[in-house]
């Protein structure tokens, strides 16, 4: 239920803002708007103000603004308040207003999210130097080892761990070239990343060395507090050995009643702390919760706005990269997400709090804005493209030709919709078990 409510909230806001853009600019240019609907199909709620009927319809997967004389099939009277009576420049403004409002919403929402402050994992901004290799993973089998520096994936240079994860994600179950630098020199590997998670993102089985950071205290024991460990301390080593978080926790669990020396970084200082794990349910515990080492960002309004622009610019690049990958087959269609997938993501984000939910809303809003500008007939970008072609040819296309173009766009969208809904269903465990052909 939480997933459904979160999905309806996110989609409702995005659709309302999109259609509001069309509506406001249309009214600004004197176009008579007949209907403003959230949703499609039979109307659940409706009211009329002036010439416009406002309604909520039964299928919540979109919305529309119906304008007088909007298409050549509409009964037209040639009045100046009809859509097709306006100049191409005015119609262009009306069409682009919807996607533009979604882009603006993404920037505004992320500004608000970033203004709240956030914890940013440090490893994402660091060069992708291997700190851990999962046993049996593609990287382990190929011979990639701790200390190797990943230079590129599929010919794309990767300067940070974040760039590496973005580059390798589309290559699940497909061979890709990975170039690394090691003590012996630069070496190229042909690897096949394993698809992981509900989105089947490619994973080679490598990770950075992440020093765990104390994020809080647990009620199980006061050993850590008694030893003087503080929230924010970064555990760099235990008994002089650097260990990944999983191995560090395992070592503590195995040393109940035995004194350990933790090498901590506290601000700019290094501190050695002796702590004795307490036995709790058969394992050693010191009573702390650990998280990835991160830095806190606490920007002012202007800085948050600037960071939002940068974040949305980065997301836009990823969206265009994904779209280009679909054309070149670099992006597998199995990674596309539809309404069910968005509902699941919305529910998961809502469980984590308002910040993750609104971050997801901003990402989807930007996607919606950009996708609507694609030159596919039936989308806003398709109508703009048709107008542009008419302007270049200095004549309006025939009704028959426009109908064919719109039908072609409809086929493309329906094919895409069937694909993403199929993907969504394969991510539902009990439905996936019924797909005997998989």
Q: For 279-297, what is each residue's pLDDT tens digit?
A: 888 889 898 888 777 777 7
Q: Which two tokens stand for residue 364?
A: 């989807």
Kindly report the pTM of this predicted structure: 0.73
Distance of alpha carbon 376 from alpha carbon 383, whole angstroms: 8
Q: With residue 131 as reference, give the H or E element that holds it.
A: none
Q: Is the pLDDT of residue 108 over 90?
A: yes
Contact 57, 41 (CB under 8 A): yes
Determine the average pLDDT of the residues in 392-396.
Answer: 83
Distance of alpha carbon 302 from alpha carbon 299, whole angstroms: 8
Hey, how many other C-beta atoms are within 10 angstroms of the C-beta on 91? 21
3-state secondary structure of 194: strand
When pLDDT is cut at 50, 70 and 90, the band that residue 54 belongs to is very high
Distance of alpha carbon 274 from alpha carbon 263, whole angstroms: 9
**What pLDDT score was predicted for residue 425?**
67
Q: Is the pLDDT of residue 427 over 70?
A: no
Q: 283-285 and 278-280 as β-strands: parallel, antiparallel, unpaired?
A: antiparallel
pLDDT tens digits, 206-262: 888 777 888 888 888 888 888 899 988 888 888 888 777 777 888 899 988 999 999
Hey, how many other C-beta atoms are within 10 angstroms of the C-beta on 424? 20
Query: Which positions ≥6 away from 364 have C-beta within 8 Å?
Result: 10, 14, 342
Query: Which positions ≥6 away from 241 have C-beta within 8 Å?
Result: none
When pLDDT is cut at 50, 70 and 90, the band that residue 346 belongs to is low
Helix then strand then coil, % of the chain, to nearest 5: 45, 25, 30
Closest to 35 in 3D by CA, of 12, 64, 75, 59: 64
What percentage of the chain has pLDDT greater than the value 70? 87
Determine the average pLDDT of the residues in 350-355.
Answer: 68
- The whole-chain average pLDDT of the chain stands at 84
Q: Is the pLDDT of residue 433 over 80?
A: no
What are the Cα distances from residue 142, in Å, to 85, 124, 133, 179, 206? 65, 24, 11, 12, 12
- Residue reference for tokens 């299928």: 59
Residue count of the chain, please give it: 438
When pLDDT is cut at 50, 70 and 90, the band that residue 84 belongs to is confident
Q: With residue 149 as reference, give the H or E element that holds it.
A: strand 149-153
Determine the average pLDDT of the residues in 160-175.
Answer: 86
Q: Is the pLDDT of residue 162 over 90?
A: no
Extents of the domains making up the chain: 2-116+359-391, 212-292
When pLDDT is cut at 50, 70 and 90, the band that residue 347 belongs to is low
**What pLDDT score was predicted for residue 435?**
64
Closest to 296 in 3D by CA, of 219, 231, 237: 231
User: What CATH fold (topology level) applies to the domain 212-292?
Assistant: Pdz3 Domain (2.30.42)
When pLDDT is cut at 50, 70 and 90, the band that residue 348 belongs to is low
Q: Is the pLDDT of residue 183 over 90?
A: no
Hey, how many other C-beta atoms are within 10 angstroms of the C-beta on 365? 26
Contact 21, 101 (CB under 8 A): yes
Closest to 278 in 3D by CA, of 215, 224, 229: 224
Question: Residue 267: CA atoms inside 13 Å, Cβ hemisphere, count?
Answer: 2
**What pLDDT score was predicted for residue 55?**
93
State the DSSP code for 19.
Answer: H
When pLDDT is cut at 50, 70 and 90, the band that residue 179 belongs to is very high
Q: Which two tokens stand for residue 31?
A: 């176009």
What percentage of the chain has pLDDT greater than the value 90? 24
């Amino acid at each position: 239920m939480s997933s459904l409510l979160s999905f309806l909230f996110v989609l409702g806001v995005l659709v309302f803002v999109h259609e509001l853009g069309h509506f406001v600019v249309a009214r600004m240019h004197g176009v008579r708007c007949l209907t403003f609907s959230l949703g499609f199909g039979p109307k659940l709620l409706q009211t009329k103000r002036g010439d416009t009927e406002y309604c909520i319809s039964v299928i919540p997967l979109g919305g529309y603004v119906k304008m007088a004389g909007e298409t050549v099939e509409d009964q037209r009277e040639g009045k100046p308040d009809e859509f097709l009576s306006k100049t191409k420049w005015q119609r262009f403004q009306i069409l682009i207003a919807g996607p533009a409002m979604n882009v603006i919403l993404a920037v505004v929402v992320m500004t608000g999210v970033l203004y709240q402050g956030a914890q940013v994992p440090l490893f994402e901004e660091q060069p992708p130097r291997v700190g851990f290799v999962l046993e049996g993973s593609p990287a382990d089998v190929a011979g990639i080892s701790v200390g190797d520096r990943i230079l590129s994936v599929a010919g794309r240079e990767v300067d940070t761990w974040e760039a590496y994860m973005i580059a390798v994600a589309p290559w699940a179950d497909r061979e890709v070239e990975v170039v690394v630098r090691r003590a012996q020199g630069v070496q190229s590997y042909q690897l096949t990343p394993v698809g992981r998670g509900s989105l089947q993102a490619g994973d080679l089985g490598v990770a950075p060395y992440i020093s765990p950071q104390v994020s809080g205290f647990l009620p199980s024991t006061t050993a850590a507090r008694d030893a003087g460990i503080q929230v924010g301390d970064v555990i760099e080593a235990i008994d002089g050995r650097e260990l990944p978080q999983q191995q560090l926790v395992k070592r503590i669990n195995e040393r109940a009643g035995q004194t350990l020396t933790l090498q901590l970084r506290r601000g700019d200082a290094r501190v050695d702390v002796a702590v004795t794990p307490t036995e709790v349910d058969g394992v050693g515990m010191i009573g702390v919760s650990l998280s990835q080492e991160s830095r806190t960002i606490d920007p002012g309004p202007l800085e948050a706005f600037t960071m939002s622009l940068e974040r949305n610019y980065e997301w836009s690049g990823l969206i265009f990269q994904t779209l280009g990958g679909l054309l070149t087959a670099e992006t597998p269609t199995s990674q596309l997400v539809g309404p069910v997938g968005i509902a699941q993501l919305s529910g998961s984000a809502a469980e984590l709090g308002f910040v993750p939910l609104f971050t997801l809303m901003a990402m989807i809003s930007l996607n919606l804005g950009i996708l609507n500008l694609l030159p596919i007939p039936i989308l806003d970008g398709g109508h703009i493209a048709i107008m542009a072609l008419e302007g270049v040819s200095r004549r309006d296309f025939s009704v028959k030709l426009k109908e064919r173009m719109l039908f072609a766009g409809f086929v493309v969208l329906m094919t895409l919709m069937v694909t993403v809904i199929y993907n969504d269903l394969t991510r539902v465990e009990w439905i996936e078990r019924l797909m005997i052909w998989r």
